[in-house]
Amino acid sequence: MGACRGPRLLDFSRTPQHLQFNKYVLTGYRPVSSARDCLRSLFYMHNELGNIYTHGIPFFLFLVLLPLSIPWAEVESVWICVVHYLACLSPTVGSVLYHLFMNHAGGEGVYDNLLSLDMFGVCLVNTLGALPIIHITLLCYPAVRQLALLLYVLLSAYGIYCATTARTNVLRLRAFVWQAAFRFSLFLFRMFGSGVGSPQSLRLFFTMDALAVLGGVVNIVQVPERLCPGLFDNWGNSHQIMHVMVICSIVYLHWGTLEDLAWIRSFQCPLE
């Protein structure tokens, strides 16, 4: 077997049952493999390669480029910058590990742990990514801000439990509903109440959530492969589309947070 030539790939009916989660992807499944062989699969074509690289490449780009754009020295509360950076990285790490090692010889037990790790990363971007938004929106209400941060963390902990124990894509998407509703209430408070923040960031945050929700829906309905089974086995299937939308959502989160961080430097809460 050549250095870049992979093993004989399997069709849907011959792959382990715990990997049969998309019946419209018909071919290109890796056989059960050791950890070393899973790593080798980075270098030959199979139906998970696109899922690995659509999050693997952004991970390295975020790792290097995001710190260069974050105004670390200009923000009084440095923790905002730290949690934002971790939020942007977290979903890509778990996703790459899940898709790379999902066919590991450890079987369904290893697969379930990897899936939980993947979902935990998604939960972290929802949790950590919203903390700067809460902090800035309620900047002029310190007591309410602390309570809101605590409530969101507790709500997120429940969401993490639901997402990591869910058995279907629908239940996993539903696990994030309350977090999304909480963020939406903050956006409304900025628009119609006395919440504060950059006027430009609100549009970016709305786009962020819209992309994330749309990506989740695409993953659930399994389009376009549902329309042409077998045609999108390696590239262009719903899960890869969701991956791209998740990355775009993170980019909008980053842009929105940068807008808020720039705005907060010159803002003073009105005196009562």
The confidence score (pLDDT) of residue 2 equals 44
pTM of the predicted model as reported, rounded to 2 decimal places: 0.94
The confidence score (pLDDT) of residue 1 equals 39
Sketch out the chain's domains with CATH numbers: 12-264 (1.20.1070)
The tens-digit pLDDT sequence of the chain (272 residues) is 345 678 999 999 999 999 999 999 999 999 999 999 999 999 999 999 999 999 999 999 999 999 999 999 998 889 999 999 999 999 999 999 999 999 999 999 999 999 999 999 999 999 999 999 999 999 999 999 999 999 999 999 999 999 988 888 888 988 889 899 999 999 999 999 999 999 999 999 999 999 999 999 999 999 999 999 999 999 999 999 999 999 999 999 999 999 999 999 889 998 75
pLDDT at 272: 56
**pLDDT for res 167:** 86
Q: Which residues make Cβ contacts (< 8 Å) with residue 176, sequence separation at least 6?
A: 122, 123, 126, 159, 163, 216
